[in-house]
């Protein structure tokens, strides 16, 4: 993140979602028809470009990344919707999106949310840039934006300042595309902070990046690529292997109830032979 500027990676992941909305519905992994509304004009134009050259170029630069990013969103969508459908004592009372970027779920799932507040936490610069796009779309009364740098300050304190936030309530937390940009201690602190403000039976969906330990050229290149994100001020810092995730989460008060590695993503979501990148995995965990 370049100080004071909106996140570029947030724009790019949103661009991939917007492009996925143009894929043949029978082959589509994710339906995010609002992503394009949140993009800057230049990115929105790229999102509307015909399929072909743009997609091949992205896939040549980082093979499988676009597929992984839409699978990741789909994995979290499916779990979120399953939670929002619960009724009675299991009912979810609020949603937190940590590092929300240009996440469009507050717009896409208005009916399923049924007025429950969505708290979007991100750098003030990223939220400010998103607010400009949202203002063009009209009011979103169930959305509350909370500006915070959770690598240096407690997002929990920021949330607790909001009169709408219900401490100890059953909450769904989405933390997508962020852990890899933080140091392990910050990820641990965030999970512990989360556990201290949400109720038992709450859930969190997270993705992790991990190091490919093969000797092949492609494995070596994959180990180098994340550092290139340092050029836009968002270098990858944390690597957490799928085998290590349950223990790490358990030590912060969260039990993994579903995990998806790159291979299982293909089985779950891909119908047209696209191959997800091998270095990401996703978990859904519940608080004890
Ligand atoms: C790759 S983007 C993902 C955005 C969104 N979750 C999505 O999937 O579309 C990473 C987001 O994390 C935010 N972020 C990264 N580090 C952060 C920090 N220390 N505090 C607050 N936000 C942070 C960035 O501003 C950016 O919006």
Total residues found in the chain within this entry: 288
Distance CA 266, CA 259 (A): 13
Choice from 6, 7, 102, 156 to test ligand 1 binding pocket (greatest atom count within 8 A of CB): 7
Q: What's the pLDDT score for residue 82?
A: 98
Cross-strand pairs, 207: 282
User: What's the CA gap between 76 and 45, in Å, rounded?
Assistant: 27
Q: Give the pLDDT score at 140.
A: 96
Nearest CA to ligand 1 atom 22: 122
Please give the distance, rounded to the nearest whole angstrom, from the Cα atom of residue 148 to the centre of ligand 1. Answer: 11
What pLDDT shows up at residue 222? 75
Residue nearest ligand 1's atom 18 by CA: 149
Strand order in the sheet with 254-260: 143-147, 118-122, 94-98, 171-175, 203-209, 280-287, 254-260
pLDDT tens over the chain, length 288 residues: 545 556 788 999 999 999 999 999 999 999 999 999 999 999 999 999 887 777 888 888 778 999 999 999 999 999 999 999 999 989 999 999 999 999 999 999 999 999 899 999 999 999 999 999 999 999 999 999 999 987 788 899 999 999 999 999 999 999 999 999 899 999 999 999 999 999 999 999 999 999 888 888 877 877 777 777 667 667 888 999 999 999 999 999 999 999 999 889 999 999 999 999 988 999 999 998
The rounded Å distance from CA 150 to ligand 1 centre is 10
Using CB distances shorter than 6 Å, the residues near ligand 1 are 1, 7, 9-10, 13-14, 99-103, 122-123, 126, 148-151, 176-178, 181
Atom from ligand 1 closest to the CA of residue 69: 8
Amino acid 4: pLDDT: 55
Q: What are the sequence ranges of the domains in the chain?
A: 8-287
Provide the CATH topology of domain 8-287: Rossmann fold (3.40.50)
CA of 60 to the centre of ligand 1 (A): 24
Ligand 1 centre distance from Cα of residue 187 (Å): 13
Closest-lying ligand 1 atom to the alpha carbon of residue 97: 6
- Tell me the CA–centroid distance for residue 26 and ligand 1, in Å: 31
CA dist 38 and 17 (Å) reads 11
Specify the pLDDT at position 52: 77
State residue 2's pLDDT score.
46
pTM of the model: 0.94
């Amino acid at each position: 993140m370049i100080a004071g500027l909106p996140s570029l990676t947030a724009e790019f992941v949103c661009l991939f979602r917007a492009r996925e909305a143009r894929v043949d519905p029978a082959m589509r992994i994710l339906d995010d028809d609002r992503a394009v509304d949140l993009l800057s004009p230049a990115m929105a134009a790229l999102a509307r470009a015909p399929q072909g050259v743009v997609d091949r170029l992205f896939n040549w630069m980082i093979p499988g990344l676009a597929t992984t990013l839409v699978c990741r969103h789909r994995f979290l969508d499916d779990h979120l919707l399953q939670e929002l459908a619960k009724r009675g004592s299991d009912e979810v009372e609020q949603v937190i999106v940590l590092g929300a970027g240009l996440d469009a779920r507050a717009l896409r799932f208005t009916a399923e949310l049924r007025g429950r507040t969505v708290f979007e936490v991100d750098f003030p610069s990223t939220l400010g840039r998103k607010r400009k796009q949202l203002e063009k779309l009209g009011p979103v009364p169930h959305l509350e934006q909370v500006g915070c740098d959770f690598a240096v300050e407690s997002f929990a304190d920021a949330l607790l300042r909001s009169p709408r936030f219900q401490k100890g309530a059953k909450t769904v937390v989405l933390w997508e595309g962020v852990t890899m940009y933080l140091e392990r201690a910050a990820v641990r602190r965030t999970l512990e902070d989360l556990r201290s403000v949400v109720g038992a039976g709450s859930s969190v969906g997270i993705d992790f990046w991990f190091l490919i330990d093969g000797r092949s050229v492609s494995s070596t290149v994959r180990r180098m690529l994340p550092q290139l994100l340092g050029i836009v001020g968002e270098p990858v810092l944390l690597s957490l292997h799928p085998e290590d995730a349950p223990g790490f989460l358990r030590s912060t008060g969260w039990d993994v109830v579903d995990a998806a590695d790159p291979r299982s993503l293909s089985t779950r979501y891909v119908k047209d032979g696209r191959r997800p990148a091998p270095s990401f995995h996703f978990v859904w965990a519940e608080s004890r």
